[in-house]
Amino acid sequence: MKAFVLKSYSSKPQLSNIPIPTPTRDEVLVKVAYCGVNQADLKIFSQNYGNSISFPLTMGSEIVGTLNGEKRVAIHPYFACGKCTYCQKGASIFCKTPWKLFGVHKNGGYAQYVAVPKKSIIPIPSSLSFPDACALTLSAGTAFRMVTVLADIKKGDWVAVTAAASGVGIYSTQLAKYMGGNVIVLAGDDKKLGVLKSFGIKHLINYQSANFQAKIMDITGDHGIDTLIDTVGGVLFESLLPLVSKEGTTVFCGATAGKDIRINMADMYYRQKKLIGSSGFTSAELRNIFHLVVKNKVKPVIDSIFPIEELPKAWDRLRKRQVFGKILIKI
């Protein structure tokens, strides 16, 4: 079969001909239709995963395809150890070891076939296309858990979403609106803010501008943010925490802009604010977002689609950071 294979950190990934994988007793073989291009690929190129990777590796984390020649399925992009006390009782989202990712810790979807554990399979509703399902498998699942499961958004609440033009940000924005929130989006690029406007968002803030905090207080009539959804951490996160209102909730899932931040503990306990970390999502949560898309409550966002032969061009596009939505590879 055709597959993009990386033989070592120092080599270039090559479109190669390799044997079709043989699934183990707990696995099934999926014929890949589309695979989403993920930041994890770029992290592999910069050797971020150290020696947790075994080569040769087929990358590709966000996979949809066909099972047994007919059933259309998505693959839950994360897999857990399956052995710890949490996994044993069916709560693998709390697995004791960090979740692992297809295309990083196990061969992924830049190939015609992939062998995956049976429990990673999620059926795709008949009215959801392969590209749309593929665009949702990772970012939308993450956003769904943060916005609809962990946050407690009530109609009319002020909800601020950082990095709103990112994968998780686009879906968090749409879900916060669906939950009835008054959404304020923050991004560092006016062009991207312009696209977010087309999703019906009225309050758009470029956080590169001076006094963006004053703008938020102005928009909310000095009330502050009821729910903050953050995916980046760092200085921006630090500067937004004091703007969260009394009894407000912050849900965060990443720290690409910095892990070490300062928190004013007195502000947090006097004003009884909640700070909730989030990681991954369950298969049921991903199924729920599929259904919201089918009901036209959330729109999948696709940046572009490349054939597998042009995967290096897709990586170049991702590196340039001008992407809005998911880049897909058609297998």
Q: What phi, psi does 326 have (nearest 5°)?
A: -90, 135
Closest approach, Cβ 284 to Zn ion, in A, equals 18
Please report, as ranges, the residues that interact with Zn ion according to CB under 5 A: 80-81, 84, 87, 95
Residue 233, class by beta-carbon neighbours within 10 Å (0-12 exposed, 13-18 middle, 19+ buried)?
Answer: buried
Question: What is the C-alpha to C-alpha distance for residues 144 and 291, in angstroms, rounded to an integer?
Answer: 12
Q: Which two tokens stand for residue 144?
A: 């769904």
DSSP for 131-171, written as a single string: HHHHHHTTHHHHHHIIIIIIS---TT-EEEESSTTSHHHHH
Minimum distance of Zn ion from residue 318's CB (angstroms): 30
Least distance from Zn ion to the Cβ atom of residue 137, Å:
21
Say if CB 63 and CB 30 are below 8 A apart.
Answer: yes
Tokens found for residue 202:
């009225």
DSSP code of residue 111 = B
Closer of 92 and 220 to Zn ion (Cβ): 92
Q: Is the CB of 210 or the CB of 284 nearer to Zn ion? A: 284
- Measured CA to CA, the distance from residue 273 to residue 275 in angstroms comes to 7
| Of residues 85 and 208, the one with the C-beta less far from Zn ion | 85
Least gap, CB of 94 to Zn ion (angstroms):
8
